Amino acid sequence: MPVSTLVPVILCGGTGTRLWPLSRASYPKQYWPLAGGGEETLLQQTQQRLEGLEGLAAPLLICNEDHRFIVAEQMRQIGVEPAGILLEPVGRNTAPAVAVAALQATAQGNDPLLLVLAADHAIRNAAAFRDTITAGAAAAEAGQLVTFGIVPTAAETGYGYIEAAEPLGEVNRPVPIARFVEKPDRATAEQFLATGRFTWNSGMFLFKASAILAELERLVPEVVSACRLALEQDSADLNFLRLEREAFAACPNVALDVAVMERTDRGAVLPLEAGWSDVGSWSALWETADQDDQGNVLRGRVIHEDSRNCYLRSEHRLVVGLGVEDLVVVETDDVVLVAHRNRAQDIKGIVGLLERQGAPESKAHRKIYRPWGSYDGVTEGSRWQVKRIVVNPGASLSLQMHHHRAEHWVVVQGSALVEKDGQQELVSENQSTYIPLGCRHRLTNPGKIPVEMIEVQSGPYLGEDDIVRFDDRYGRTDQISSNVTK
């Protein structure tokens, strides 16, 4: 059992485009409930499956700036207060992320064990996962850099492989690493499995903070120096720690495997057999999910007849499958995907095509999440548009004004405290208020239930860059992107 404190380091980056149209840059797969059939998201499950480990401390989470409030809210929902949420101004892969976490974890003279996990993996057997972590703790305490190798179930060509220095068999201890191998062809993968020495590379690690820092300093000192500078010049943003942009952007973009694990003599692999999946495609999700008697996986408002081996998912509207086989059907508020399961890996190419066309569906959903709640673009015309806005209890929109549009707010649930040019009024359910062009305005939810309102905008220009912010509790400025509101 671990002697040191065990700090989970949860890496929340990535966009997961192979699970489009559900997973998009604005709301990637780790923030969706995709595995297990419950309401917990992949991120929440990543934290929850650790409960019961000896010495478990509050997690460090590393995420994109744009997702910071999603991460904080999902941790709040499961009653977890993180030790810190570190904000990456730009993506720089896993070696810098781990370096930042190790520097932060040791800032007060501590030297915990760091358990590095991706936020977007699914693991069916949480107890077996915890047992494997415990089995690797002593080696990590002794200074080894332990990685968890997934016991292969097939000759997969979509994963990297790790070769152990000895046959693994029933081994329940870390074994020295012989080499890492990039994604092989099928014949090579079959040869790997025959040796009994190979596992899939999961990208999960366990090591002392001091041990990984020492190897990073030795092998890629430029990564550590850039990360140290980004931390020294960081800035607090509510409960977040924002890394200094220029310093972190100068850091090499490199994976921890390439930077350290392939080059160190302290690496060890520990076999993990716990029903692991990287949830890398709709077909992978179908394979690992519970299926009905006809081999179908059904999520949401779905009915079917004489359908077999399908993944059918509805987020809003009714989805009906009639006499179909081997299909993936995913319905969202603005896209319906229909694909053969064998072509599910090709979705990334479709997303690339949409990006080149400038299609908004490539990156964002119709429903956009904000620190105060969410908004949903319902419909629009040439000089008007309608949005459904939800403001969480105690939350507040920024104090702002618009040069080119007026707004009409109709409250359909809760009570909103509305400020207009310094004057306040309480607008309750079934009441409305008008925000004329040029008016300084703000909406606050003083109640205990969400405020839901319908906003009708009208004017010659309705772009979301027509916002001038005067005050914002979330630290945002009026220099905003075109998909930001309020």
Domain co-membership, 419 together with 449: yes
Q: Contact at 8 Å (CB) between 299 and 313? A: yes
Average pLDDT over residues 176-185: 93
pLDDT at position 1: 42
Question: Which residues are 161's β-sheet partners?
Answer: 181, 200
| In a domain? residue 476 | no
Average pLDDT over residues 149-170: 91
Domain co-membership, 383 together with 348: no
Identity of the highest mean pLDDT range in 236-240, 242-246, 446-450: 446-450
Which of 135-139, 325-329, 361-365, 443-447 bottoms out in mean pLDDT, i.e. has the lowest? 361-365
| In a domain? residue 263 | yes
How far apart, in Å, are the Cα atoms of 249 and each of 232, 252, 269?
14, 8, 31
Average pLDDT over residues 137-164: 94
| In a domain? residue 484 | no
Domain co-membership, 379 together with 325: no
Examine the pLDDT at 188 and tell me if it is beyond 70: yes
**DSSP letter string, 27-89:** B-GGGS--SSSSS--HHHHHHHTTTT-TTB-PPEEEEEGGGHHHHHHHHHHTT---SEEEEES
Question: Which residues are 201's β-sheet partners?
Answer: 149
Domain co-membership, 74 together with 171: yes
Q: In sequence order, what are the residues at sequence separation of 6 or more whose Cβ sits closer than 8 angstroms to the Cβ of residue 477?
A: 469
Expressed as residue numbers, the domain containing 23 is 6-277
Average pLDDT over residues 29-58: 92
pLDDT at position 367: 86
pLDDT at position 66: 84
Average pLDDT over residues 386-400: 94
Domain co-membership, 411 together with 335: no
Domain co-membership, 416 together with 351: no
pLDDT at position 233: 86
| In a domain? residue 384 | yes
Regarding predicted confidence, which is higher, 381 or 145? 145
How far apart, in Å, are the Cα atoms of 263 and each of 6, 115, 260, 266?
25, 20, 5, 9
| In a domain? residue 299 | yes
Regarding predicted confidence, which is higher, 412 or 465? 412
Per residue in 79-127, pLDDT (tens digit) is 999 999 999 998 899 999 999 999 999 988 899 999 999 999 999 999 9
| In a domain? residue 422 | yes
Banded pLDDT at 238 (limits 50, 70, 90):
low
pLDDT at position 169: 83
Domain co-membership, 183 together with 125: yes
Examine the pLDDT at 268 and tell me if it is beyond 50: yes
Last residue of a domain, one of 245, 261, 277: 277
Q: What is the CATH number of the domain that holds 230?
A: 3.90.550.10
- Domain count within the chain: 3
Domain co-membership, 240 together with 139: yes
Average pLDDT over residues 156-164: 91
Distance CA 306, CA 323 (A): 5
| In a domain? residue 187 | yes
Average pLDDT over residues 32-53: 92
Last residue of a domain, one of 355, 378, 407: 355
Domain co-membership, 31 together with 133: yes
Average pLDDT over residues 290-311: 95
Last residue of a domain, one of 355, 381, 396: 355
Q: Whole-number mean pLDDT of the chain?
A: 91
Task: Work out the number of other CB atoms within 10 angstroms of the CB of residue 105.
Answer: 25
Domain co-membership, 98 together with 14: yes
Which of 205-209, 336-340, 364-368 bottoms out in mean pLDDT, i.e. has the lowest? 364-368
Sign of CA dihedral 463, 469, 473, 474: positive
Distance CA 6, CA 407 (A): 51
Average pLDDT over residues 132-157: 94
| In a domain? residue 482 | no
Q: What is the CATH number of the domain that holds 411?
A: 2.60.120.10
Examine the pLDDT at 478 and tell me if it is beyond 70: no
Examine the pLDDT at 480 and tell me if it is beyond 60: no
Task: Work out the number of other CB atoms within 10 angstroms of the CB of residue 31.
Answer: 24
Domain co-membership, 272 together with 351: no
pLDDT at position 471: 86
Regarding predicted confidence, which is higher, 9 or 25? 9
Average pLDDT over residues 172-188: 93
pLDDT at position 477: 53
pLDDT at position 377: 87
pLDDT at position 2: 47
Task: Work out the number of other CB atoms within 10 angstroms of the CB of residue 331.
Answer: 23
Domain co-membership, 152 together with 210: yes
